[in-house]
Amino acid sequence: MISKKLFYIVESANWSIRWDGHYIVNNLKKIRDTGLEAEYKTGFTELRNCIIHFGSRNLILSDQNYKKIHPSNTVVFTWFHGTDEDKKYIEVLPKACGIADIVHTSCTISKKQLIGWGVDPKKIVQIPLGIETRKFKRYDHLRKFLFRRLYSIKSNYFVIGSFQKDGQGWDEGYDPKLIKGPDVFCNVIEQINKQKKVFIVLTGPARGYVKKRLIKANIPFKHIYLKNYREIPRIYNLLDLYIVASRAEGGPKAILESMACGVPIISTNVGMAPDIIVNGKNGFINKIEDEVGIVANALRIYNDKFLTKEFIENGIKTARKFDWKIIANEYYQKIYKTLI
């Protein structure tokens, strides 16, 4: 069999897109007789006669990168999320689609948006993000207790997590990235804290806005910035609840990650949430900016142990369906196999 080279293009930052490339490529290599030689890398201008998959819209649309792709290549790019305000991307979207064979997206919401912005539905392939279920799993009560003690989290706290990048840039992040909803998250936490004593666990870069708000509200928190993404399951296992308060998403990965680790999830109606969460069965979905509803559902999870148990059990079952082995095979069957 003649092999075709696939290069999954990732961002230089050690963040979400790079890990997508890692999991997709490594799991493709485990599938026999694909006819692919897969790698992930940051550059692309030197590539010839390859399949090039740009792992985010920024990588192909910024700086008119779509013009720098050699015509001998077959092109795929991923569009995770956007809004009508993303004019600089939407304006060049038709040009990028003109050279792309496939436009990949992770959720129904984004697929509908892309069609609305003029992308040919026949070019769109929807495949969700995945999760490494071997690493992301629920710890037993003793191990969770020991981890909380390690981070000086008292047993009477209602521990809530937010693991993302929600500040502008890569510095402290005092200027909020409002699409990620850090203002909504902080408003919700302040309201929950009036009824139940909360402790907030943060990971990710540029969390300055959230930390400043929590300090002002006198709410205890711990910001744990991990260099290795695969260490994050133990941080999920500190939590009683995870909240996604975003205004737009392509995932987020946190939905599946929290489920796999046995952490109840509340999300706004963004990204993959309506594709994965069955409201009231394995999590809660609230309307975007519905602070009152998020607070009410958080308190339901705190007060109703039977509901919490149901969310945990159903969430773990849901996450198993999205293991990266399964998702990478979807990438092969629905995208790469059609281009070889």
- Ordered structural domains, the chain, with CATH: 4-130+324-338 (3.40.50.2000), 141-320 (3.40.50.2000)
Q: Which two tokens stand for residue 313?
A: 């059990």
SS3 102: strand
Residues 6+ apart with CB under 8 A from 223: 202, 203, 207, 211
Q: What is the pTM of this model?
A: 0.94
Identify the CA nearest to 76 among candidates 42, 108, 48, 53: 53
288-337 pLDDT, tens per residue?
Answer: 999 999 999 999 999 999 999 999 999 999 999 999 999 999 999 999 99
Mean pLDDT for 207-225 is 96
Residue 229: is its pLDDT beyond 90? no
The overall average pLDDT reported for the chain is: 95
